[in-house]
Structure 1
Amino acid sequence: MSNPQEISAQFTAARAAGRSLPAYPGTPPATLAEAYAVQAAAIARWPDAVAGWKVARVGPAFATQFPEERLIGPAFAPNIHRPAVGAVASCPVFEGGFAAVEAEIVIVVAQDAPVGKADWTADTVLPFVQSMHIGVEVASSPLATLNDIGPGAVISDFGNNWGVVVGPEIPNWRELETIEAETFIDGVSVGTGKAVIKPGPLGALAFTLNKRAQQGAVLKAGDVISTGMITGVHDIRIGQQSRHVFAGVGEVRVQITRAAG
């Protein structure tokens, strides 16, 4: 069984120092309960406030071991980026670790959630959507192989998150069924995809509301929810720049920098 305090101590120390880890620090969590126990211990060790959550799908290969459709990880206040229209967001990643960018829809939460309610669906979460934005998740971990190990490892290390870029608002999102996106790295197209508003982003919001309620917590007004990749998980290196184009809405640009200690 994994040791939440030992694992969280090593991951948070590496993140604070801006350095990589050569291997998973201990036994990777084998269950969702173990994984979220490590995550909770790591959040308690980290000095910054949680200002939102990233959401990702659990892949089919891991569905039996980790029987939930999605997973969540914290996004901390200093890692929420809101660049001006046309500006480039500067986002750090861990040199020698894992680093990727993902075009995503980002939801800003409208109000505090009620305590204990854990039966939200994509049809009932509309009162919690203050606004919906095009955006980017910057995924990064001190451990280069984190994703390969699986969802237990990903959950344990802040959900492999180190940034959420909140781009331009999608003013007419209620009228849309889908949003198409394309990702470029250094000018080269690396992926295209389509977000289905329901059950995609709205389903991710419902999952996060339910998961936090099960954990004895709630989402707060102003929290940002990065709702899951659209064009893929695209590896990126320090010094590179990505551009994420959302048809009919706009684009988001990200400059990748080195995380400092």
Structure 2
Amino acid sequence: MSATQAIAEAFTTARAAGRAIDAYPGTPPATLAEAYAIQAAAIARWPDAVKGWKVARVNPAFAAQFPEERLIGPAFAPNVHSVAAGAEAICPVFEGGFAAVEAEVVIVVAEDQPAGKADWTADTVAPLVKSMHIGVEVASSPLATLNDIGPGAVISDFGNNWGVVVGAEIANWQSLETIDVETFIDGQSVGVGKVAIKPGPLGALAFTLNKRAEQGQTLKAGDVISTGMITGVHDIRIGQRSRHVFAGVGEVNVQITRAVGR
């Protein structure tokens, strides 16, 4: 078995069992190509359909080694949670692994991406936005130190994603420049931020379209794109609840549970 396949097998086996691992299972990928090769191998091993993608910024400290502004990871259909106003999404994380919540804007893709087109920008992607929503990414990995190792490790393990929560629609997004956001965990404020619609969510969608085209793949109508953290990455424990308030739009509520084996 190749190193790529061995790493993919270790992470997917741990995720399927709902258990943590103590260390990175091999040598962390040193390049974007290596990292995405492991991610592709892991996706091929996972039984669920990909329903969308999470997007995150590459930490500037790693920019020389991983020279792209963003990274992506798959969101699988069972981990995409649509939640009505006032309701609570129930989201699992890996006990003993990494677990965090991130307030994000989520885009639902309007139509299949034209094959071969890889020159999208924040100025040209609006026709591919079916709707824009307030939401949350639930980041979780069997490896507690995944983020600390760097973007290559994050990419290799499904982008450290284990959930995308799709909340209320931002009906007037085309007329908005920014939205103020605050995150609470168990009632305590843990972070505030402001999302700029064009460079943020629309830029993340453009990046994802271009990355998938580079990989010889396309986004499909109905795919969800979780477009990047707004108030920060907030560690969370099993049993805790988070509330994410998007000023003038609404809020998203999440309860964290323990991931169990398949």
Q: Is the TM-score greater than 0.5?
A: yes
Mapped to 1, the partners of 2:35 and 2:3 lie a distance apart of 10
Give the equivalent residue in structure 2 for 1:71.
71
Secondary structure, in 3 states, of the residue corresponding to 2:221?
Answer: coil
Secondary structure, in 3 states, of the residue corresponding to 1:229?
Answer: coil
Secondary structure, in 3 states, of the residue corresponding to 1:217?
Answer: coil
Give the equivalent residue in structure 1 for 2:229.
229
Give the equivalent residue in structure 2 for 1:118.
118
Give the equivalent residue in structure 2 for 1:218.
218
- The answer to whether structure 1 residue 205 and structure 2 residue 221 are counterparts is no
Per-residue deviation, 1:3: 1.6
Give the equivalent residue in structure 2 for 1:246.
246
Per-residue deviation, 1:159: 0.1
- Which blocks of at least 5 consecutive residues in structure 1 are unaligned? none
Per-residue deviation, 1:85: 1.6
Mapped to 2, the partners of 1:98 and 1:180 lie a distance apart of 27
Mapped to 2, the partners of 1:235 and 1:214 lie a distance apart of 33
Per-residue deviation, 1:130: 0.1
Give the equivalent residue in structure 2 for 1:177.
177
1:228-256 Cα shifts (integer Å, max 9, x gaps):
00000000000000000000000000000
Per-residue deviation, 1:4: 1.1
Per-residue deviation, 1:42: 0.1
Give the equivalent residue in structure 1 for 2:195.
195
* 1:1-261 matched pairs, under 5 angstroms: 3-261=3-261
Mapped to 1, the partners of 2:3 and 2:122 lie a distance apart of 35
Q: How many corresponding residue pairs?
A: 260
1:110-148 Cα shifts (integer Å, max 9, x gaps):
000011111000000011000000000000000000000
Per-residue deviation, 1:189: 0.1
Secondary structure, in 3 states, of the residue corresponding to 1:171?
Answer: coil
* Aligned residues of 2:195 and 2:230 also touching (Cα < 8 A): yes
Mapped to 2, the partners of 1:176 and 1:232 lie a distance apart of 21
Mapped to 1, the partners of 2:184 and 2:226 lie a distance apart of 19
Secondary structure, in 3 states, of the residue corresponding to 1:13?
Answer: helix
Amino acid at match of 1:140: S
Per-residue deviation, 1:208: 0.1
Secondary structure, in 3 states, of the residue corresponding to 1:199?
Answer: helix
Mapped to 2, the partners of 1:229 and 1:84 lie a distance apart of 21
- Which blocks of at least 5 consecutive residues in structure 2 are unaligned? none
* Aligned residues of 2:134 and 2:167 also touching (Cα < 8 A): yes
Mapped to 2, the partners of 1:159 and 1:201 lie a distance apart of 17
Per-residue deviation, 1:16: 0.2
Mapped to 1, the partners of 2:142 and 2:250 lie a distance apart of 32
User: Percent identity at matched positions?
Assistant: 83
Amino acid at match of 1:148: D
Secondary structure, in 3 states, of the residue corresponding to 2:6?
Answer: helix
| Deviation beyond 4 Å, 4+ runs, structure 1 | none
* Aligned residues of 2:85 and 2:250 also touching (Cα < 8 A): no
Mapped to 1, the partners of 2:236 and 2:181 lie a distance apart of 18
Mapped to 2, the partners of 1:17 and 1:9 lie a distance apart of 12
1:2-34 Cα shifts (integer Å, max 9, x gaps):
821000000000000000000000000000000
Per-residue deviation, 1:83: 1.4
